[in-house]
Amino acid sequence: MSLRVPLLGIETEYGIIRDDVDNYDVVEESIRLVRCCEMKSEFGNWAYSRERSHQDMRGFNVPSLAQDEEEDAFCVEDRKRPYSYWEMKSDRVLENGARFYNDHTHPEYSTPECSSIFQLVAHDLAGERIVFECARLRNLEDKPGRICIFKNNTDYIGHSYGTHDNYLISRRLPFEHWVERLVPFLVTRQLYAGAGKVGSELQGDNCFSGLQLAQRSDFIETVLSIETMIQRPIINTRDEPHATQDKYRRLHLILGDANMSPYATALKVGTTQLILTLIDEDKLKLLVDLENPVKDIKDISRDQTGTIALKRTNGKTITSLELQEFYLDAVDKNLSGQCKEWDWVIREWARTLDELKHHPEKLADRIDWAIKKDIFTRFIDSEGVSWDDPWLKSLDLEYHNLDPERGLYRGLEQTGGIYSMFSESEVQLAIKKPPEDTRALIRGLAVTYGMDKIKNIHWTGIEFKDGNFIDLSQVVTSTDVEHLINSKKEQFSWL
């Protein structure tokens, strides 16, 4: 029996604008949005001292990051605002175990740690609801214009913001072992995980016209890097496991898109979890090394057929679809029949690749880029415009609008035009309750019942005003959760 990746998480930076207003402070808007959250939460006590963002998985520390320089630049500007640094961050740890804060120009929602794919997707959807509810409350205020929130990754004028999927993996294997087996998979998973994008944002790339598979592919510049704002990599090398350092790594992937379709999110996270399991068990015997994966990720994004030839280091070529089929075959042979959730992923992965090859129009009920292709093609035909018309980029943005009265994806949800995975009650449960089998349960209970006693809080622990401390860094499995609760019940009555 295989051991699945024990903890999963998604961090989403949301786009935010104040509609119909020429001049507004996006930092101020992001702060105000987070402060509108009415959920029970621990506010302003995030333990930044526990962050280790400068440690690299390749065995060294970097003296500075681009984000440090941006922080310094923002600090100069922020001195003009009536807030301290901590007030600007407006950090909230919510009763469901998630983190919600201002990442300078974007509200960011980080799901609680989850133990399963479907659990994670439900919490990702909960994040959408929480962020939009804050926007709704903000719009009740007497202010000009209207706050609009977008779950996407680009402003279409050259700036990108991230959606990061995270996986706790073993440290017993060399980092290079993970990299060489994972890169070809990550380069090609946009065939079903891409959110779609009209046009290109590559400098000097004026020849592309049409729909890309993915939004982030234009912004990927290197295979490996600890950076997230410049030299964006296929695999981020930040060595910050938020767990026992000598046992685990946290694979922090920043190349993925923000999916509106929960099906696409489930497939993206689920296939990645399965590949990581194969790598951990050393069951990927045949390696497929790509000659130029950074170029490939951009070329694949411009090919909706999956048939573009990718150069291998051995002089041969392979298509993106063939690469995904190679990974699927390895997963099917080694991991099928082990749990219902994995079997769903394997079945739907196979179905999606088969339809991409033979009937790509059938993807238009669940894969974001294919949904966009269907909508936009019909719009182009009815209005007599081209893919270069600015109208298309406006529609592209509105696809990601969380407002049910404006968002194109939200409209499809209401008419039953897309694949549905979760009931409203399941999403509402994720809004209020943390997963019961991960350490997020302890964090959520602390916020719900012991909030007035908390001094600071983090993914790895909770410090209380009376000097007590709960160490969460070693709490990885459901058994760990149960053991911690049993051992701390007398000390913390709310457990």
Query: Tell me: the pLDDT tens digits for 401-411?
Result: 999 999 999 99
Which pTM value belongs to this model? 0.96
What is each CA distance from 183 to 174, 286, 324, 329, in whole angstroms? 15, 14, 12, 17
pLDDT score for 4: 75
What tokens does 280 get?
């951990």
Side by side, which strands form the sheet with 99-102?
41-43, 92-94, 99-102, 107-110, 8-13, 163-170, 248-253
* Structure confidence at residue 451 (pLDDT): 83
User: What percent of the chain is modeled with pLDDT above 90?
Assistant: 85
Question: What pLDDT score does 76 carry?
Answer: 62
Question: Per-residue pLDDT for 155 more than 60?
Answer: yes
Encode 32-65 in three state secondary structure: HHHHCCCCCEEECCECHHHCCCCEECCCEECCCC
Q: What pLDDT is stored for residue 414 in this prediction? A: 95
The catalytic residue among 22, 56, 72, 103 is 103
Quote the mean pLDDT of the chain: 94
**Mind listing the pLDDT tens digit for each residue in 432-479?**
999 999 999 999 999 999 889 999 999 999 999 999 999 999 999 999
pLDDT of residue 89: 87
Residue 134's pLDDT is 98
Question: Distance of alpha carbon 224 from its chain centroid, rounded?
Answer: 18
Per-residue confidence band for 136, with pLDDT thresholds at 50, 70 and 90: very high
Q: Are 150 and 159 in contact (CB under 8 A)?
A: no
- Read off the pLDDT of residues 312-326 as tens digits, 9 standing for 90 and up: 999 999 999 999 999
What are the pLDDT digits (tens) for 325-348?
A: 999 999 999 999 999 999 999 999
What's at 316, amino acid-wise? K
Among 71-75, 111-115, 212-216, 481-485, which stretch is predicted with the lowest mean pLDDT? 71-75
Cβ neighbours, 10 Å, residue 72: 10
Asked whether residue 69 carries a pLDDT value surpassing 70, the answer given is no
Q: Which residue has the higher pLDDT, 205 or 298?
A: 298
* Torsion angle in degrees (nearest 10) through CA of 456, 460, 464, 469: -150
Q: Report the C-alpha dihedral over residues 280, 367, 336, 423, rounded to 10 degrees.
A: 110
Q: What average pLDDT score do residues 233-251 get?
A: 96
- Classify 156 in phi/psi space as left (phi over 0), alpha (psi -120 to 50) or beta: left
Q: Is the pLDDT of residue 77 over 80?
A: no
Nearest to 293 by CA among 211, 189, 194: 189
236: left (phi over 0), alpha (psi -120 to 50) or beta: beta
For residue 188 the two structure tokens come to 């090609």
Q: Say what percent of the chain tops pLDDT 70.
A: 96
CB of 164 closer than 8 Å to CB of 256: yes
For 169-211, the pLDDT digits (tens) are: 999 999 999 999 999 999 999 999 999 999 998 877 667 899 9
**225 DSSP β-pair partners:** 236
Residue 383 has pLDDT above 80, yes or no: yes
pLDDT of residue 131: 98
| Residue 15 confidence (pLDDT) | 97
310 pLDDT band (50/70/90 cuts)? very high
HEC secondary structure over the chain: CCCCCCCEEEEEECEEEEECCCCCCHHHHHHHHHHCCCCCEEECCECHHHCCCCEECCCEECCCCHHHHHHHHHHHHHCCCCCCHHHHHCCEEECCCCEEEECCCCEEEECCCECCHHHHHHHHHHHHHHHHHHHHHHCCCCCCCEEEEECCCECCCCCECCEEEEEEEECCCCHHHHHHHHHHHHHHCHHHHCCCEECCCCCCCCCCCCEECCCCHHHCCEEEECCCCCCCEEEECECCCCCCCCCEEEEEECCCCCCCCHHHHHHHHHHHHHHHHHHHCCCCCCCCCECCHHHHHHHHHCCCCCCCEEEECCCCEEEHHHHHHHHHHHHHHHHCCCCHHHHHHHHHHHHHHHHHHHCHHHHHHCCHHHHHHHHHHHHHHHHCCCCCCHHHHHHHHHHCECCCCCCHHHHHHHHCCCCCCCCHHHHHHHHHCCCCCCCHHHHHHHHHHCHHHEEEEECCEEEECCCCEEECCCCCCHHHHHHHHHHHCCCCCCC
CA torsion, points 115, 431, 403, 210, in degrees to nearest 10?
0
pLDDT of residue 148: 97
Q: What is the pLDDT of residues 253-266, one digit of tens each?
A: 999 999 999 999 99
Tallying the residues shown for the chain, one arrives at 495
Mean of the pLDDT values across residues 288-306?
97
CA gap 37, 101 in Å, rounded: 10
Does 381 participate in catalysis according to the annotation? no
pLDDT for 140: 96
